[in-house]
A and B are shown apart, each in its own frame.
Chain A
Amino acid sequence: MAEANPASPPVVTPVNSGTAWRRLGAALRRHPTAIAGGVTLLVMILVAVLAPWLGTVDPTDVSPIRRLKPPSAEYWFGTDMLGRDVYSRVIYGTRVSLTVGLAVAFVATLIGLAIGLVTGFVRWLDAIVMRVMDGLMSIPSVLLAIALIALTKASLTNVIAAIAIAEIPRVVRLVRSLVLQLREQPYVEAAVASGTRVPMILLRHILPNTVAPLLVQATYICASAMITEAILSFIGAGTPPNIPSWGNIMAESRSLIQIAGTILLFPGIFLSLTVLSVNLLGDGMRDALDPRLARRL
């Protein structure tokens, strides 16, 4: 920021905490792909919220008479083997995917942040917790989620919990590395010297500096959680079959791919688009918030 020139009125201070957000906005404008991702994601969220008003019928309404209809003016995406409207099912499926993606991102980030902060600062805990995290990470996240689902009853909440547990180690690693870096900062030393207690050091001096990279990490978790949910549903280990999720729709139409391939096509397109938009947004945010982060993630 340039010094105020002598002619300008003296006391006005235009700069405030808004600068970080303004910088983010400016950087996003430089990334047209991120804008495209953001807009697509926004549309998907609107679709999920407004699902009942988008010309849909009850997605679970069975009608054997009109089963396996190809796409037409009446049934935009056709109907499935039970005569359910695929369009309505896909639109309602948006709700499931976005719920799972956002919930997992939120839960995994929050829990991972808490664990990472503590292990980064309490050295004796670090070795123990990090070995547990290494153990969790050594199991592929889909496999771990399947195992966790197998232990409980299939429900949306359990799917979210299972995927979140599989994602937590990644957040812990990121937060821990940030904390280890930040705790060596002279201003943290200065805070210790001025009598700040450890919890306040974490809250005042470490936490605010982890927000930006965590936000980026959260978008990646969101995208990967949506894919994992679809995979789990597809193999029948995820969202209960009575709930129309993209993975369920694809799973049910799997055997019909030669007769009615479109049933599988539409949820696939929606899933790809949503995951792509979240990833594009994440990439844009990463570049905007910290170019150096590109290497760490």
Chain B
Amino acid sequence: MSETASVPAPATLPTPGNALLEVQGLRKYYPTRQGLFAAGAPKVHAVDGVSFWIREGETLGLVGESGCGKSTTGKLILRLQDPSAGSIQWRGREITDLNAGEMRIIRKELQAVFQDPYASLNPRMRAGEIVAEPLRNFGEMTGSERKERVAQLFARVGLRPDQLVKYPYEFSGGQRQRLGIARALSVNPKLIVCDEPVSALDVSVQAQVINLLMDLQEELGLSYLFIAHDLAVVEHISHRVAVMYLGKVVEIAPKRTIFTAPAHPYTEALLEAVPVASPGLRRARKVLGGDVPSPINPPSGCRFHTRCPYVEARCREVEPPLVAIAPDHLVACHLRPGSIMTDPASGPTPAA
């Protein structure tokens, strides 16, 4: 692949051969100015070298604070926006250079559930029409087959048949998100990009929707890219978790590892920030100082060095590559013992 040439070598991950979706060195820069003088203007580095992969039947949680580029990453994968650089491979096929027509075929396997369950449903369409839209787009069914399929989907996501003819505003937030899920499921996708699907919902409803997603995964063998900022939700649904900071993935590991033995100082700080549900318990909390730096002019070296409690001189100059420190555990930090070793033989997974 030519990507290895355009992307700095360390950003290339050793990936397993069975990856459904493989993202390498994905970048998206937005111009801060439009028009004639746009070329010289500074750019917002919304996504700046993101790499990960998702296996079949797996959920990858993508977490990070507001503005770290996690939603943009989702949109780039769905090709709702065009990446500035990097590669996205769907079942081994590069999709960044596909035109709209070719991409449409991929969309049958790559669906999405969006954050705002109200705004992502056309207010002038009936619930049944909304769920049927992807089916109509791919036109493989007759009208009556489609009706049957929609009714079946309604039942599967826990909506009543009499709600088929209702309009989105007649549904509650949780029901609307069920509609969104039914729409995504209609064409039997392989992967669903869930862009903060529960963050707009009440906590009790969140649990229902999450459980529905997990049931569906078990039943249909779906994969999810689950974008969220709520660590509790991510811990519940994910198999592996990728942590993003300022447009970069700083750590990827199986869920258990992330939550019990985080390797990156930022992951550590994120976990520290999770509130504990016992008022009597007092912890010595390490609170991060300062604010997230501007993505227009990101810090040199390690992006996190301005706030890192363990910062050293080299962190300010050299950008740490994302490297494996244990099987399936990748970290971008100079201070992790494994990450100092550049010997590729130490990588636990065979390079693709």
Contact = CB atoms under 8 A, between A and B. Distances in A.
Interface string A185-206: 1110111111111101000110
Interface stretch (A9-17, A29-37, A129-137): A9-17
Nearest to A211: B124
B235 interface: no
A1 interface: yes
Contact of B120 (A16, A190, A197): A190
A195 to B, nearest CB: 4
Interface in B55-108: 75, 78, 80, 100, 104, 107-108
Interface string B26-63: 00000000000000000000000000000000000000
Contacts of B104: 195, 197
Contact of B162 (A10, A190, A200): A10
Contact of A191 (B133, B167, B184): B133
A13 B162 contact: yes
B166 interface: yes
Query: Which of A191, A197, A205: most chain B CB closer than 10 A?
Result: A191
B138 A187 contact: no
Nearest to A188: B122
Contacts of B238: none
Contacts of A193: 78, 80, 107, 111-112
Contacts of A181: none
Contacts, number: 68
A208 interface: yes
Contact of A13 (B124, B125, B138, B166): B166
B137 A200 contact: yes
Interface string B105-135: 0011001101110011111110000000110
A185 B111 CA distance: 18
Given A193-B80, A195-B134, A187 B119 contact: yes
A157 interface: no
Nearest to B112: A193
A209 interface: yes
Nearest to B125: A204
Question: Most chain-B CB neighbours within 10 Å: which of A13, A15, A194, A197?
Answer: A194
A186 B133 contact: no
B116 A186 contact: yes
B121 A194 contact: no
- Please classify how large the interface on chain A is, using the bins under 10, 10 to 19, 20 to 34, 35 or more: 20 to 34
Given A193-B107, A208-B124, A186 B80 contact: no
B165 interface: yes
B240 interface: no
Contacts of B120: 186-187, 189-190
Given A1-B169, A187-B119, A189-B114, A194 B133 contact: yes
A15 B170 contact: yes
Contact of B137 (A10, A194, A205): A194
A204 B122 CA distance: 9
B334 interface: no
B5 to A, nearest CB: 31
A272 B115 CA distance: 52
B122 A194 contact: no
B114 A194 contact: no
B183 interface: yes
Interface residues of B, number: 33
Nearest to B184: A194
A190 B114 contact: yes
A208 B119 CA distance: 16
Contact of A195 (B125, B137, B180): B137
A263 B189 CA distance: 75
Contacts of B165: 13, 16
A10 B122 CA distance: 25
A297 B116 CA distance: 30
B154 to A, nearest CB: 14
Contacts of A197: 104, 137
A1 B169 CA distance: 9
Contact of B107 (A10, A195, A205, A209): A195
Contact of B122 (A1, A13, A187, A198): A187
B179 to A, nearest CB: 11
A15 B119 contact: no
Interface in B271-313: none
Interface of B: 75, 78, 80, 100, 104, 107-108, 111-112, 114-116, 119-125, 133-134, 137-138, 162, 165-167, 169-170, 180, 183-184, 187
A-B pairs with lowest CB-CB distance, top 6: A194-B134, A195-B107, A186-B119, A195-B137, A186-B120, A193-B112
Given A195-B187, A204-B133, 4 more contacts: A11-B162, A187-B119, A195-B104, A205-B122
28 contacts: A1-B170, A15-B167, A16-B165, A186-B120, A187-B119, A187-B121, A187-B122, A187-B123, A189-B114, A189-B120, A190-B112, A190-B180, A190-B183, A193-B78, A193-B107, A193-B112, A194-B111, A194-B112, A194-B133, A194-B134, A194-B184, A194-B187, A195-B108, A195-B137, A195-B187, A204-B122, A208-B124, A209-B124
